[in-house]
Each structure stands twice: as C-alpha cells, then as structure tokens.
Amino acid sequence: MSLAAKPAGPLPLLSDRHVDPHAYPDGVAYLDGQYLPMSQAKVSLLDWGFLHSDATYDTVHVWDGHFFRLDLHLERFFGGLEKLRMTIPFDRDGVAEILHNCVALSGHRAAYVEMLCTRGASPTFSRDPRQAINRFMAFAVPFGSVANAEQLRSGLHVAISDKVRIPPASIDPSIKNYHWLDLVRGLYDAYDRGADTALILDFNGNVAEGPGFNVFCVKAGKLSTPAVGVLPGITRRTVFDLCAEAGLSAVAADVSVAALKTADEVFITSTAGGIMPVTTIDGAPVADGKVGVITERLMALYWKRHDDPAWSSPVRY
Ligand code: PLP
C-alpha cells in the first residue's frame, strides 16, 4: 500500500515563528474519507470534541504486527458511541478495516492505534448537539508506553495526588473520554514531588486511577483493583483473565491509600505499555522496593499471549 497524500520535499513554515515540521509522530490518520500523514490530519476549531471535550475514543495496540484484543476495544468504543448518542457511518467491521489500513499504510509493526468520534460541528454553529455532524477519525502512530525501558525494569515512582477523579454520576467512566483535567493536575502534583506519574482518588478518598492507566495491588498473593469511578480497562480485564487461568485471586473492590502503601506489590495497566511495575509510592518503597514476583509473572504471561490467535489478529499489511 502507498500513501498518495505523502508530502513531497520539505514542508513550508506556517508562519514566521519556527514550526518544526517533524513535531508530528510518524503515522497515518483516517479523516473525512482520506488516509493522510499525521501532520496533515487537522480538525475544525469549531468541533465540539475540541471545544467541549464532547468525544469518545478507544486505543488498541499492535505488537509484532498483530492487534491485541481488537474485538474488546471495538465493543467498548461502540458502547461509548451509543451512550453519547453518536452515530458513525461504519459498523465494527468497517472501523476494523480502517484501523488495519492506518497501520498497514504506516508500516508500523508496533503501533498505538486510536479510533475516535467527536460530536463534530454544526454547520450553523447551533448550540444544539443534535445539529452537530458526528465525526469519526482514526490514526496509527508508533507504540508508546506509560513506562520507559528503565521504569519497566526497576519500577515506576508514583505519587498519590489529592485530586479527585470526576465521579461516575457526572461522567460514566465506561465511556472512554478526554475529561483529563483531574488527571493532568494530578500529574503536575506528581512531577512537583519528583515522581514519574500519579494516582488520583475516587469520591470516597480511595485510590481510583492514573493518567491512562488502572492500578492493582497484591497482598498475601491476592490481587485487587479499584472497582468504581475508573475506566474498565482492557488491560485490567486481561489481568483478570490471566489470573483466572493462573489460579490467582483477583477482585475489583475499594483500594484505600493505606492498602496501596502497605501492599506487597503494586502495578499499573494500560494498552500503552501493558503491565508496568510500581516500586515506590510517595517516595517510600513498596515492600522491599523491588519488582514483585507476581507482577513479573503476569508481565511475562501478558506479552506471551500476544501470539495467541484467541487474543491477537494479524494486521492486513
Ligand atoms: N484509565 C484511563 C483514564 C485511561 O485513559 C486508560 C487508557 O487510556 C486506562 C485506564 C487503561 O485502559 P486500557 O487498559 O483499556 O488501555
């Protein structure tokens, strides 16, 4: 496959201010019926996705040329569309085909692949969301991870922020969304305290989730992860599936800050990175400060299952 719209030669500067034409990751987007290099995929300033965060999305990864659990990501995305009363001119197979094309055109063997739908814009700038024309978009860029190689090896340093995740009574967290101001403020709290990333709280003061990930703790061989006010992550679901197969107990329940800090092991989960160890919380080591044995075992099982045809499907390059 080739990308017809690939720019030839150097890109022009947009203004007198220096604009780095290479600031876009190398990837391919689908927008308004066309496949484009990331640098050319632009949306209107009047799109409600941009003006009001009125959008839903999903992210699936491609590893070694295979999508991982694409069916579950499509299911969650179409669930979000329905709950937000958005319609797109594609069914699940149609979206899957566009995602395959984005990855194939990008040539990436390891990719971060996003499908998204915004409320769109109304041709008359009406304030009535029913007048807006919903807009489906997708893109594939190189695989990205919450944790870098060193953090994957020796564990992340996490700070617990006092910011509270937007409650489920306001936004149903099963609709994957861009309401991230709580998470981003938590992230700045974490950076101020010298940590790599943050966890924020639920409306009862228990641990909720972090910017783009769920969290698990292990105590006396049993796993738990926050039950309410969090995105039901596909990687979190995969941990439950792997635990069921491995005979490990895993439950969704309230996880207090104290329980997290006194856990034997802590890890976070995301499509962007998989299962990632946490070895310090608020500057204090988790147990002996080393990556735990159950975490290591689950990390190995998780990546091993990327070859399993039940959970992975080859990209149609
Ligand atoms: N929680 C939030 C807020 C997220 O944005 C994400 C992923 O982006 C996750 C959790 C992890 O979900 P998944 O495992 O499906 O990537």
- Closest-CA residue, ligand 1 atom 6, reads 212
Query: What pLDDT digit, counting tens, does each position of 187-231 carry?
Result: 999 999 999 999 999 999 999 999 999 999 999 999 999 999 999
Given a cut of 60, whether residue 247 has pLDDT beyond it is: yes
Query: Is the pLDDT at 245 greater than 70, yes or no?
Result: yes
In a domain, 233, yes or no: yes
pLDDT band, very low/low/confident/very high, at 4 (cuts 50, 70, 90):
very low
**Residue 260 near residue 267 (C-beta atoms within 8 A):** no
257 domain-assigned: yes
Q: Please indicate, yes or no, whether residues 208 and 273 belong to a single structural domain of this protein.
A: yes
Q: Concatenated DSSP letters for 5-65?
A: TPPPSPPPPSSSS---GGGS-S-EEEETTEEEEGGG----TT-HHHHH--EEEEEEEEETT
Domain range for 236 is 149-306
State the pLDDT at residue 22. Answer: 60
Same domain for 105 and 230, yes or no, is no
Which of 115, 270, 276, 302 to mutate for ligand 1's pocket (most ligand atoms within 8 Å of CB)?
A: 270
Q: What is the pLDDT of residue 24?
A: 87
Quick one: the chain helix, strand, coil %, rounded to 5? 30, 30, 40
**Residue minimizing CA distance to atom 9 of ligand 1:** 213
pLDDT for position 15: 44
- pLDDT band for 88, please (50, 70, 90 cuts): very high
The answer to whether the complex's ipTM is over 0.85 is yes
Residues 168 and 117 in one domain: no
Contact residues of ligand 1, CB 6 A cut-off: 59, 209, 212-214, 231, 233-236, 269-271
In a domain, 316, yes or no: no
234 Cα–ligand 1 center, Å = 8
pLDDT digits 0-9 by tens, 127-170: 999 999 999 999 999 999 999 999 999 999 999 999 999 999 99
Residue 99 clears pLDDT 80, i.e. is over it: yes
